[in-house]
Amino acid sequence: MIKKILIKEVYLPIIYIICAFILYQIACKIVDKVLIINKEKKKKNSLALKREITIVNLIKSIIKYILLIITLLAILSVYGVKTTSIVASLGIIGAVVGLAFQDTLKNLLSGITIIFDNHYMQGDIVTINGFRGEVIDLGLQTTKIRAYSGEVMIINNSLITSVINHSMYDTILYIEFPVSKDVSVAKLMEIIENVNKKIIKLDEVEEEIKALGIEKLNANNYIYKVQINCKPDSHFNVNRKFMEYLKEEYDNNNINVPAEYLEINKK
């Protein structure tokens, strides 16, 4: 009899834990399978895909906590604890826990708001409370942001007071560059067209270069302005490539670059 009781108290909890683990793995695979299917449908919609990945991570967290609670109650019942009374007392316990863990609940509600209001998603480039970087993890309690230099900021969701999302919309890049007065506008259009053939092949570039026209006339040169629509937070790389291709065209046509600064603006 004693042996049976021991077997029950030792092995049943282990079985419950194993079953919970298996159920969690199965649930995660089902959720991931749905995500993979939707990936095929959303190849060109990166914002929707990132939002879905974040929501899937949230669903996995909820499943994990639900299974954890159910497993804990099942194990307690093995040791003779009346779980029905525990469940009935959850209202009172919930009130006490709510008072004791106010900050945790604030973080939880803030995390849900951030996800469903689409403030930012995992993989977005953001500036939060003055810190800029990539969102590497968005949880129910905290957000982790990695700067380009490698530092990682971990911030409670309830403490996030300001967010600038650099990945939500495409970047409109404006480039102003000086052109020698000896270069005709027609020749410059030919050069820009040659640059366009190269830059449109970049993954970051969404549309062909738009020639906006002469921005300013100086004594020895004129300033020309172009517009390039590119993917979020890719303007620095696109600007560098534009300048590289422009220099190649200048060299090919024996054109000297005027001694003027080159200016980059984005919107």
pLDDT at 44 over 50: no
Q: Candidates 3.90.1150.10, 3.30.70.100, 3.75.10.10, 1.10.3720.10; correct CATH number of 171-266?
A: 3.30.70.100
Give the per-residue pLDDT at 213. 92
pLDDT bin (cut points 50, 70, 90) of residue 46 is: low
Q: Look at residue 265 in the predicted model and tell me its pLDDT.
A: 54
Higher local confidence (pLDDT), 104 or 182 = 182
Q: Say which amino acid occupies 151.
A: E
Quick one: pLDDT band at residue 246, thresholds 50, 70, 90?
Answer: very high
Does residue 2 have a pLDDT over 60? no
**Angle formed by the axes of helices 235-252 and 185-199, nearest 10°:** 130
What value, to the nearest 5°, has the Cα angle with vertex 126 and ends 145 and 139?
45
| Res 139 pLDDT > 80 | no
Mean pLDDT of 184-212: 91
Q: Which residue has the higher pLDDT, 79 or 254?
A: 254
For residue 254, which phi and psi values (nearest 5 degrees)?
Answer: 55, 45
pTM of the model: 0.51
The better pLDDT of the pair 10, 128 is held by 128
Beta strands 221-230; 263-266: pairing state? unpaired
Predicted local confidence at residue 130, as pLDDT: 87
**Res. 196: pLDDT tops 80:** yes
Q: Above pLDDT 70, what percent of the chain?
A: 77
**CATH 3.30.70.100 domain position(s) in the chain:** 171-266
pLDDT of residue 150: 87
Residue 4, pLDDT above cutoff 70: no
100 compared with 116, residue with greater pLDDT? 116
Query: What integer pLDDT is reported at residue 267 of this predicted model?
Result: 55
pLDDT for residue 88 is more than 70: no
Q: What pLDDT, on a 0 to 100 scale, did the predictor assign at position 262?
A: 47
Predicted local distance difference test score (pLDDT) of residue 17: 86
Query: What is the average pLDDT value for the chain, to the nearest integer?
Result: 79
Helices assigned H by DSSP within the chain: 2-41, 46-78, 83-88, 90-100, 102-116, 185-199, 235-252
More confident residue, 225 or 13: 225
Instruction: List Cβ neighbours of 58 (8 Å cut-off, separation of 6 or more).
Output: 111, 112, 115, 140
| Distance (Å, whole) CA 22 – CA 63 | 12
Predicted local confidence at residue 96, as pLDDT: 57
| pLDDT tens, residue by residue, 211-228 | 999 998 887 889 999 999
Lowest mean pLDDT of 26-40, 50-64, 187-201, 226-240, name the range. 26-40
Give strand pairing partners of 171.
230
